[in-house]
């Protein structure tokens, strides 16, 4: 579903963020990208939805070379969740979630019904939380809205960049468990960045262990933990 072929990213100042990366992620697979800060995880993600372009190499999503796909069309098929989810502050939670279905052509009532479904899917009660504004939610609840919104276009691919990084450990564990349950229902192809090896192990079908712009190991959690 996602394939990197000899992908290198050199930023304008000469920094080589990603160095000759080749890997493949299967449909419905959840791969966690783990490693210290600055080793190229976010750059890898941003190249998948063309927020930044590789210097060389090719990236394929669902068989298409993405350099030939219009970025707006591409992003419709790729949900993106980041640590500081940017919700519209003046829209309710329900309307934040309904925006994408509405933009994609659903009528207002249908978009809101779809949004309510999505909120339930991520463990929020539409009748309780749907009418609130983002600043009336806890951090954990805001991240859930971010996940619901990313799912709104029903994209086959999800990019998640430390989505649970800003909440406390107890809430994070609850979000991780709920997220695993959600993934067992929706089965998206997911790249999930974390710097927390425990999170990488708990969530990943496979783990890509990063170091200095390269993937040093790409394997199932048990194999990564068993490595010397």
Question: Could you list the residues that contact ligand ADP (CB under 6 A)?
Answer: 11, 13, 15, 17, 37-43, 136, 138-141, 171
- Residue 204 DSSP SS3: coil
CB of 17 to ligand ADP, least distance (A): 3
DSSP annotation of 165: T
CB of 217 to ligand ADP, least distance (A): 15
Give the closest residue to 175 by CA, choosing from 167, 33, 185. Answer: 167
CB of 124 to ligand ADP, least distance (A): 9
174-183, long-range: CB < 8 A, 24+ apart: 174/140, 175/140, 175/143, 175/144, 176/202, 176/203, 178/122, 178/123, 178/144, 179/147, 179/203, 182/121, 182/122, 182/147, 183/30
137, two tokens: 């939610």
Task: Give the residue at shortest CB distance from ligand ADP.
Answer: 140
CB of 161 to ligand ADP, least distance (A): 8
């Amino acid at each position: 579903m996602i394939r990197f072929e000899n992908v290198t990213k050199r930023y304008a100042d000469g920094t080589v963020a990603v160095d000759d990366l080749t890997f493949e992620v299967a449909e419905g697979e959840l791969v966690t990208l783990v490693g210290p800060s600055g080793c190229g995880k976010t750059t890898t993600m941003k190249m998948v939805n063309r927020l930044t372009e590789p210097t060389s190499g090719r990236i394929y999503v669902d068989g298409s070379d993405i350099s030939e796909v219009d970025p707006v069309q591409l992003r419709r098929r790729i949900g993106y969740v980041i640590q500081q989810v940017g919700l519209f502050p003046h829209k309710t939670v329900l309307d934040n979630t309904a925006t994408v279905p509405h933009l994609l052509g659903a009528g207002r009532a249908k978009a809101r019904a779809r949004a309510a479904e999505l909120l339930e899917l991520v463990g929020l009660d539409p009748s309780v939380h749907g009418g609130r504004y983002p600043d009336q939610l806890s951090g954990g609840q805001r991240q859930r809205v971010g996940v619901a919104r990313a799912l709104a276009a029903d994209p086959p691919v999800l990019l998640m960049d430390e989505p649970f990084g800003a909440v406390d450990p107890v809430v994070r564990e609850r979000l991780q468990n709920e997220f695993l349950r959600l993934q067992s229902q929706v089965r998206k192809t997911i790249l999930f960045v974390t710097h927390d090896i425990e999170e990488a192990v708990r969530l990943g079908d496979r783990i890509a262990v990063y170091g200095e712009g390269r993937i040093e190991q790409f394997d199932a959690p048990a194999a990564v933990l068993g490595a010397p």
